Structure 1
């Protein structure tokens, strides 16, 4: 039996928190635009600070569009690990719909308008419960109020006493990224009538301490599709609702020079 340590588990950390940086830049340009407008109304000739404010404030429309688009509509992310194989691969660039789960206040992330909530089977992005500056991607497995159980012996997930169907076990022979583990088995898993492909590793013993629990209100249980190589709610715990960023919609680009042609085939893959 092989042994996996936590160092081999992939968190699928996605990117540095650019939202705060863009928000700060937006505030600076807004303040500069205000200084320029104030001085222009008071004097016909701008001083040094007025001219600088005019130049900086000129970027306000651009930053307003970028900030609004990233905060309320869609945001791109790059996948850096194999924890979501075979759904997502290292080098995939995905588009995340930030409006699916509610219109949220930028930076502070409190919900302004309810537009929906995660469903079982959704692939979603959320801020790490351990380091909120890091974004993570997993699949929603259990909702608030669900009883979730993971049996490490048969690698089955049980929701409210019923096992999630896993069929068509076969050796995985699909697309491999640069850090793909070997000896994987591919299965079709079904959650609430929707099917997706997932992987387990043959001959792997599990370090996961999690067995079962009832998910409290305001929290979600997420897992990676590459089950034996994913650090997810079995490791770091539940995902608070306020940490959720949005729903992953599609692969809009793939970039890995070692598999350029194969990567092109992934462009336009819907999740």
Structure 2
């Protein structure tokens, strides 16, 4: 969340400034007056203790990996409600905290990547979906069949999915393997076939979809108007600057407060494909 990131940056800067001022000036003044160690101000003491910790957390979270929790069923069967995941923050380039502005480019997103981002109509929150369309692609979704650049994806039926954990019994959908070029993956398919249409991905944008096709608010269904009431050009597409990183690992599955609704140890260490 933006507020947590902002608080982390502010606290890191404040404690760092206090520590630096003390090291360069205040400590010398106390020594010149014959001050003792126990006369050190409380603020300086806390800043010296917390600044290294806050700085390490900020660097790791902003430039290495950031944890997220899956809140919805939109990426089932691959990501479940209660999964705690890690997101690689440097795969696509290094970005500044808070404003997410990229200052070093490293690589470009690939088709099939599972990414965390801020959707154009809900910029205060992080969402997670799979990249289906790259800039310039022609995407169509008709009758539960995905077509990319006039090539219809092939599907293999794997059985019926009935849900796991919190979603147990709430899902009853066909479990399929969608053979996305270079990234085959499992999806859920119901009988509603929502979000049908055709799109051409503009430059600097991506088209994203959830793996739970009938239960995902993704690029097919994003509104034309943002939370501020302003019209959103290219509202079906994810702007590159809204990317937060690439999801790569499940490190915990815990449902409910203190795992009271379930704990699935088998998901620990699962790579996100």
TM-score class, shorter: 0.7 to 0.9
More divergent stretch after superposition (35-44 vs 119-128):
35-44
Aligned partners of 1:221 and 1:128: how far apart in 2? 11
Matches within 5 A, 1:27-66: 27-37=13-23, 38-44=25-31, 45=35, 51-58=41-48, 59-66=50-57
Corresponding residue number in structure 1 for 2:111: 120
Secondary structure at the counterpart of residue 100 of structure 2: coil
> What is the Cα deviation at residue 129 of structure 1?
1.8
| Candidates 113, 119, 123, aligned match of 1:132 | 123
The alignment's C-alpha RMSD in Å is: 2.2
Matches within 5 A, 1:172-251: 172-173=161-162, 175-179=163-167, 181-202=170-191, 204=192, 206=194, 208=195, 211-236=197-222, 237-251=236-250
> What is the Cα deviation at residue 105 of structure 1?
1.6
Secondary structure at the counterpart of residue 221 of structure 1: strand
Aligned partners of 2:210 and 2:53: how far apart in 1? 36
* 1:33-61 alpha-carbon deviations (Å, 9 max, x no partner): 13323222334349xx9613312321111
**What TM-score, normalized to structure 1?**
0.85
Q: Does 1:258 align with 2:261?
A: yes
Secondary structure at the counterpart of residue 255 of structure 1: strand
**What TM-score, normalized to structure 2?**
0.84
Corresponding residue number in structure 1 for 2:271: 270
Could you tell me which runs of 5 or more consecutive residues in structure 1 were left unpaired when the two chains were aligned: 1-14
* 1:167-212 alpha-carbon deviations (Å, 9 max, x no partner): 2153224x5131453321111001113211000113x263x3x611
Aligned partners of 2:211 and 2:127: how far apart in 1? 13
Aligned partners of 1:50 and 1:82: how far apart in 2? 52
Aligned partners of 1:231 and 1:63: how far apart in 2? 35
Corresponding residue number in structure 1 for 2:152: 163
Corresponding residue number in structure 2 for 1:88: 79
Specify which structure has the bigger relative contact order, considering alpha-carbon pairs within 8 angstroms and separated by 6 or more residues.
1
More divergent stretch after superposition (86-95 vs 24-33):
24-33
> What is the Cα deviation at residue 150 of structure 1?
1.4
Aligned partners of 1:188 and 1:65: how far apart in 2? 40
Secondary structure at the counterpart of residue 166 of structure 2: coil
Corresponding residue number in structure 1 for 2:139: 148
* 1:4-40 alpha-carbon deviations (Å, 9 max, x no partner): xxxxxxxxxxx56522221111111112213323222
Aligned residues: 249
> What is the Cα deviation at residue 128 of structure 1?
2.7
More divergent stretch after superposition (123-132 vs 163-172):
163-172
Shift in alpha-carbon separation, 1:205–1:105, aligned structure 2, 3 A: closer
Could you tell me which runs of 5 or more consecutive residues in structure 2 were left unpaired when the two chains were aligned: 223-235
